[in-house]
Structure 1
Amino acid sequence: MALQTANRRRGVIIFTDPDHAGERIRRRLSGLLPGCRHAFVPRERAVNKGKVGVEAASIEDIKVALARVRTEGPAGRTFDQQDLIQGGLTGIPQAAARRKRLGDLLAIGYGNSKNFLWRLNALGITRTEFEQALEQLEAE
């Protein structure tokens, strides 16, 4: 497959629309392209006339997303469900909004609890980055 060859030779950045269809495409490509890189643009920055898509984002937002690209690695066990609970990222009414904001701060996008935990572990987020982002979230 051409994408697998490109991934081996030069690397591939998966940069999909921040909607359900884009997430399905991202998951599928991620499974086919080990070690690929991921870029995320926040949903609110990718909407034009009610349509969601990367093409609706500004050039500046796209540049920022590409500058903050994350490389996927084997999903380790740096973070677990307890980290999400302690961070207020699951199990409370405002958890979804907190995950969304933290995903923006860490440049890993939005995900439900299970998906967010996978992103924390697979996209190389360090404990320090996580804690600093949580502190920033609390300060806002």
Structure 2
Amino acid sequence: MIKEVIVVEGKNDIAAVRRAVDAECLATGGFGLSPYTLEQIKHAYEKRGIIILTDPDSAGERIRRYLSKRFPDAKHAFIPKEDASDEREVGIEVASAPVIRSALETLRSEELQIEPRFIWADMTRAGLHGGADSAARRAKLGRILGVGYANAKTFFRRLNTYGVTREEFNAAQEKL
């Protein structure tokens, strides 16, 4: 049983998570979170802690950012887009149980960084922006580091806010 409450976007996501692990889940119902839903999430956050597991798309990222601001000590789990999509949709509900378990084993927490560990030149040197294969490189590196796929700007922010160390980054690059 997972101690924290897992916050997902919808009922189908809850079903997918429950097929993978024994955990309590709450659904945001999309980006229009009701005051009642926010109160439920706040209660879970204060009593047990929460894990934010949103879809690997732009709507999921907006929900994650919104919840992160309200609940700064929340943990984050990421599922790579290619592992959470089929020919019709992208979402946690189409991810397999092993993929969901893997995401929940590599949790990240946001950290306040006075001095960022990474600078934009690190993104350039690693080929993570501006190149023909940059998106694919970010997807692979995001999977290895457990920070998910993101565009270059968001990926850079995740490197600096989710506690990725220089050693982890270098080791992940070597795996590419």
TM-score, normalization: structure 1?
A: 0.90
- Aligned mates of 1:126, 1:49 — CA distance in 2: 35
Contact kept, 8 Å, 1:89 with 1:95, in 2: the verdict is yes
Partner of 1:90 in structure 2? 129
- Aligned mates of 2:62, 2:69 — CA distance in 1: 11
Measured after TM superposition, the shift of residue 110 of structure 1 is 1.1
Q: Which structure's residues are more often helix, by fraction?
A: 1
Partner of 1:62 in structure 2? 100
RMSD of equivalent CA atoms: 1.4
- Aligned mates of 1:111, 1:68 — CA distance in 2: 17
Partner of 1:126 in structure 2? 165
Measured after TM superposition, the shift of residue 111 of structure 1 is 1.3
Partner of 1:6 in structure 2? 44
- Aligned mates of 2:134, 2:82 — CA distance in 1: 18
Partner of 1:51 in structure 2? 89
Measured after TM superposition, the shift of residue 116 of structure 1 is 0.7
TM-score, normalization: structure 2?
A: 0.73
Contact kept, 8 Å, 1:75 with 1:118, in 2: the verdict is no
- Aligned mates of 2:117, 2:48 — CA distance in 1: 28
- Aligned mates of 1:11, 1:33 — CA distance in 2: 9
1:65 alignment partner AA: A
The CA deviation string for residues 42-68 of structure 1, in whole angstroms up to 9 with x for no partner, is 111112441111011111111111011
Percent identity, aligned pairs only? 46
| Farther off after superposition, 42-51 or 22-31 | 42-51
Larger gyration radius, structure 1 or structure 2: 2
Matched positions, count? 137
User: Quick check: 1:20 aligned with 2:58?
Assistant: yes
- Select the residue among 132, 138, 149 that pairs with 1:99: 138
- Aligned mates of 1:74, 1:104 — CA distance in 2: 23
2:61 alignment partner AA: E
- Aligned mates of 1:19, 1:30 — CA distance in 2: 16
Which segments of 5 or more consecutive residues in structure 1 lack a partner in the other structure?
Answer: none
| Farther off after superposition, 40-49 or 119-128 | 40-49
Which segments of 5 or more consecutive residues in structure 2 lack a partner in the other structure?
Answer: 1-38
